[in-house]
Amino acid sequence: MKNIDEKYYPYLIALAGLLFFLPFLGKTHLFDWDEINFAESAREMLVTGDYFRVRVGFLPFWEKPPFFFWLQAASMKLFGVNEFAARFPNAMFGVITLLTLYFIGKKERNNRFGLIWVLLFFGSILPHMYFKSGIIDPVFNYFIFTAIYFLMQALHKQDHKLRNSAISGVLIGFAVITKGPVGFLLLLLTFLVIIVIQRFKTWPRLKDVLVFALATFVVTFAWYGAELIEHGPWFLIEFIKYQIDLFSRPVAGHEQPLYYHFLVVFLGCFPMSVLALGSFNKRTINNDLLAKWMMVLFWVVMILFTIVTTKIIHYSSMAYLPLSFLAAEYIDQRLASSNRIPRAMVWLYCFIGVVFGILLTALPLVVYFVDIVKPYIDDPFAVAGLMRQVSWSGYEFLIGILFIVVVVVTTFQLFKDKLLRSLKVMSMGAGLTLLLYSTFVLPKIEQHTQGALIDFLASKQGEDVYVTTSGFYSYAPFFYFRQPNDNLEKREDEQWLITGNIDKPVYIISKITDTYLPTRPDLELLKEEGGFRFYLRKPFN
């Protein structure tokens, strides 16, 4: 990019984001649970016309505030109720995030640093893929990150303190109405740790605190206050109780070992996680204000969600942003000195990259040669899913080979101390690999794992019937059957649907491992496909 005027860099970054995040967003069905859950809440807002009360199955859903669902509902107004619309907000926030990193990097360091930061975040696995998803966290994380950045400005810079305090308050308010009070908690803990590190020498002015608090209150009151006034406190009480449950006990079986989030972040954020290792030293913390805040934010996120009993992969995704800064900081320091990184780090990068490439290569081959691997899989449901007829070309494994080639080429470049060139190839190669994989492999994997379920539900849209699952829970019947807003009490009673005196036909879906429904003489087995059984139960009369 040496021959391109830097005023065009933001346009090129935005174009790259659009080209890599938007195409084929709707090619793969939404994944159970979270993607379907959130899209269904947005769909039900459109059906009911009530945009303040979050629902699933047209019953109150107090696990999440509504802001992300507002974005999805607006997207569905534009593009229809479909997978593309459900994922479109995150794709747009992907572009916004890349531009934000560039402008912050340029302001705090220089133009080159901003570009390095963008390349690292764009070319890392989970940060890239999250912008192709329909989950809340990319939007939530953006608001927390920018709120903390403006809080840092308000606390340490002499100019525009009140303005920066207000912006920080507004942004953290949006974080709170996107996913809940944990957004404010992360900001507060980061702020308190910074105060302690600086030995209580830096304190905000009272008027800055008041402006921040007022801005946060105004934004959060737009939902919390309106909900309280309109419906009373019970919904908010249930919401707060659920948030406490997440911290105190493993909700929905999400219990993992203590090291879980460290492993997820290190492997999922490859390659920037490897390059960030060089920044974990006292010099990084002591030498620069922004580096200090990013280091503190990273550890606050990792320690907090290690303590939290419920451990889900995207809970620690807020750590991706400060980790990407630490990786950019290390690369920038290396470029300013020897243009060389330790050989042990190069070998670690090569090893993890090749392992990832082998896994990406092997996954399509496992499905393609399922008859060979089937005897070694001790899970009838998984085997049945793999045996489902899905159209594979047989060449999908080449995408994994491409990734291995990228890793090997960049490894040689790193050994030749061509650090910046290797970073460009690494980032764009990873981005291309992920684009191809999400286009040609993930849709087929999804067809093996849940395709039979979703195809069946979509085929029943518009029928005057009930649909339910037995032996497992899924949000798919709501979104893909397009559950109408009627008979709430009857639909909620699973036992009535399966054994009661029903007033219209019921389609019941179970996994093939279920042993109860096959004993029921009143059920008609329609078909067995992809690890699922599909039954019809007719009314007695």
Rounded average pLDDT over 101-108: 96
Q: Give the H or E element holding residue 100.
A: helix 83-108
Residue 92, φ and ψ in degrees, nearest 5: -65, -40
Mean pLDDT value across residues 10-27: 94
| Averaged pLDDT score across all residues of the chain | 91
Spatial contact of 93 and 270, defined as CB atoms under 8 Å apart: no
Cis peptide before 271 (omega within 30 of 0): yes
pLDDT given at position 216 = 96
**176-185, 275-284, 377-386, 530-539: range with lowest mean pLDDT:** 275-284
**pLDDT, position 303:** 94
- How many Å apart are CA 433 and CA 244, to the nearest integer? 40
Tokens of 357: 């490439």
pTM over the 0.85 mark: yes
In this predicted structure, which of 169-173, 227-231, 399-403, 474-478 has the lowest mean pLDDT?
Answer: 227-231
Residue 540 confidence class, pLDDT cut points 50, 70, 90: confident
Instruction: For residue 422, count other CB atoms closer than 10 A to its CB.
Output: 24
Cα–Cα distance, 48 to 61 (Å, whole number): 14
Report the C-alpha gap between 436 and 19 in whole angstroms. 12
Per the CB < 8 A criterion, the answer to whether 291 and 284 are in contact is yes
Positive or negative CA dihedral for 293, 299, 303, 304? positive
* Tens digits of residue pLDDT in 185-226: 999 999 999 999 988 888 889 999 999 999 999 999 988 888
- Both tokens of residue 86? 């459900």
pLDDT at res. 287: 67
pLDDT band for position 292 (50/70/90)?
Answer: very high
pLDDT at 134: 95
d(CA 249, CA 309) in angstroms, rounded, equals: 5
In the prediction, which pLDDT does 286 show?
Answer: 63
Q: DSSP string spanning 106-162?
A: HHHT-HHHHHHHHHHHHTSHHHHHHTTS--SHHHHHHHHHHHHHHHHHHHH-SSSHH
String of b and e for 376-414 (b: at least 16 CB within 10 Å)?
eeeeebebbbbbbebebeeebbebbebbbebbeebbebb
Between 11-15, 185-189, 305-309, the lowest mean confidence (pLDDT) is in 305-309
Read off the pLDDT band of 7 (50, 70, 90). confident
Reported as a pLDDT band with limits 50, 70 and 90, residue 52 is: confident
Query: What order do you get walking across the sheet with 466-469 strand by strand?
Result: 466-469, 506-511, 532-537, 523-529
Q: What is the DSSP string of 476-513?
A: HHHHHTT--S--HHHHH-HHHHHHS--SS-EEEEEETT
Query: Which pLDDT score is estimated for 453?
Result: 96
Residues 198 and 348: their CA atoms lie apart, in Å, by 35
| Mean pLDDT of the 105-114 span | 94
Q: Of the candidates 36, 234, 469, 220, which has an alpha carbon nearest to the alpha carbon of residue 242?
A: 234
pLDDT at 251: 57
Express each pLDDT in 343-390 by its tens digit.
999 999 999 999 999 999 999 999 888 888 888 888 899 999 999 999
pLDDT 10s digits, 82-100:
999 999 999 999 999 999 9
Pairwise pLDDT comparison (118 vs 489), residue with the higher score: 118
* Euclidean distance between CA atoms 200 and 194, whole angstroms: 9
**165-188 mean pLDDT:** 95
pLDDT in tens, 430-485: 999 999 999 999 999 999 999 999 999 999 999 999 999 999 999 999 999 998 88
Helix ranges, 281-390 (H): 282-287, 289-307, 320-336, 343-368, 370-373, 380-387
Chain segment 228-260, per-residue pLDDT in tens:
787 777 766 777 777 666 666 665 555 678 888
Tell me the average pLDDT across 387-414: 94
Please report, for the chain, how many H helices and E strands are present, in that order.
27, 6
Alpha-helix runs per DSSP H in 391-485? 398-415, 419-440, 442-446, 452-459, 476-480
214: how many CB neighbours lie within 10 A of its CB?
14
Distance of alpha carbon 318 from the chain centroid: 10
- What pLDDT does residue 240 have? 73
Q: How far is CA 14 from CA 150, 190, 439, in A?
A: 23, 30, 21
Q: What percent of the chain has pLDDT over 90?
A: 70
Q: Which two tokens stand for residue 445?
A: 């994997």
pLDDT given for residue 254 in this prediction:
52
Query: What 8-state DSSP symbol labels residue 522?
Result: T
